Amino acid sequence: MQEKFLAFIREKELLQPGQPVLLAVSGGLDSVAMAHLFQQCPYPFALAHANFGLRAEESEGDAHFVEALARQLGVAFHTTRLPAASEAEVKGVSIQMAARDLRYQWFGELCRQEGYLALATAHHLSDQAEGLLLNLSRGTGLAGLHGIAPKRPLLSTENSPLLIRPLLFTRRDELEAWATAQGIRWREDSSNASPKYRRNLIRQQVIPPLKSLNPQLEEGLQELASQVRAAEGVLKGVVDALHRQVVAEKAGHTTLSLPPLLAQPEPQYLLGELLQPWGFGWAEAGAILHSLQRSAGSPVGKEFSSATHRLVVDREQLVITPLGAAALPPTPLALEQPELQLGPWHFRTRRLPAKGYRLLADPLLAALDLGRLQFPLLLRPVQPGDRFQPLGMRGKKKLSDFMIDQKIPLNLKDELLVLQSGTDIVWVVGHRIDERYKVSGHTAEIFEIRGTHT
């Protein structure tokens, strides 16, 4: 076992000799066996134990046991109490999920503070098999089949410590046989026998009959997970290349061009992967593509929502905006006010002589006849019944009709701002100024305003 342990660490390049590592130790068989295996390795280590207090005296006993183990092994010991139950209630998640998040957050802080280059957890092949089968029972995509990787960054920060799993070469029964032969003592967690936990049901009732069909079940599932991770790497390259081609970040929203996507094989998979950052996935991608088929490829206004974003199908593109953005308040703008911040918008203004001024075709810049404006101006959201005279037109037009003509997606209409002078709309920000306020041969001074969406 010891030789296989060292060989696995070297093969997967989990650690280099002399690199300090923090071991996550609960007191159970797996983590205690891992601690004893590390004792005979050229890697300095310490033990860390998170006490959630979920099993009263049993939890306290686990903490005391791990502390005694650290003294026995002659290494440093770190421990803390973490409020998993109250955290789960606040966040509306399971206690197991809350405990996991709190534990890894603490481990990460500990690694940074004490200089450990890696955190080792005691996941083994049996854990790998249970996790994959549990994901399959729930229904999963590729992400649920890539299993536990031997190593990955512990944190999503630069120069993060590694999270390593040095026992992913052995099964639980092999580890128990070795620990028993070595005379190693460990604690039994009573919750591991409870049928109320799905993982326990997988371990006790699903895996045994499967192993009667294939005694090498764990090894086979480990091989599957490795192949899925490799396939994910290949697919990520394809998705990243397509992302650069079809996704564009614009002022306050994101667009996704559909024609290049639809030309690809398996567009539902690709669309689901592209939409993940905004909380959409495989199912929503299928519904979007179905809406395209039903409307002959160019639907307008079909909406989808995730927990964080709103998506509108707008002809040959998808338009994605954040949910829950508060309406911006009407805000006055004085003549001698060079800058104004209004929500995500930043405006800069200048007054300039008309002589020699060169008009630019920039929808985010409005050049207006200063002599016709009434100050203070007002920047405000669109209101029902708004009208203005779009540049180049003779008569007034409903702003709602103008937005339709301009093919402004439904989820962007609510975010439009207008600049008002007196009772007149003089600029639909980012789109068109009013004909009556344009710069002409009679203009003496120009009021210039430029908007930038941050």
Give the burial string for 411-434 (b: 16+ CB within 10 Å, else e).
bbeebbbbbbbeebbbbbbbbbbb
Are 147 and 132 contacting, i.e. CB atoms less than 8 angstroms apart? yes
- Residue 28 assigned as binding residue: yes
CA-based nearest residue to 325, from 449, 221, 411, 453: 411
- Residue 368 assigned as binding residue: no
3-state secondary structure of 426: strand
CA 165/CA 169 separation, integer angstroms: 9
Four-residue CA torsion sign, 286, 414, 344, 317: positive
3-state SS string for 250-313: ECCEEEEEHHHHHCCCCHHHHHHHHHHHHCCCHHHHHHHHHHHHHCCCCCEEEEEECCCEEEEE
Strand order in the sheet with 339-342: 339-342, 345-353, 445-453, 365-369
- Residue 305 assigned as binding residue: no
CA 392/CA 362 separation, integer angstroms: 16
Report DSSP letters for 138-207, one per residue.
Answer: H---GGGTS---SEEESSSSTTPPEEE-TBTTS-HHHHHHHHHHTT------GGGG-TTSHHHHIIIIIH
CA 270/CA 170 separation, integer angstroms: 36
- Residue 194 assigned as binding residue: no
- 387 CB-near residues (< 8 Å, 6+ apart): 396, 397, 398, 399, 425
Two tokens, residue 24: 């996550």
Phi, psi of 65 (to 5 degrees): -65, -45
Annotated binding-site members = 26-31
Annotated binding-site members for ATP = 26-31
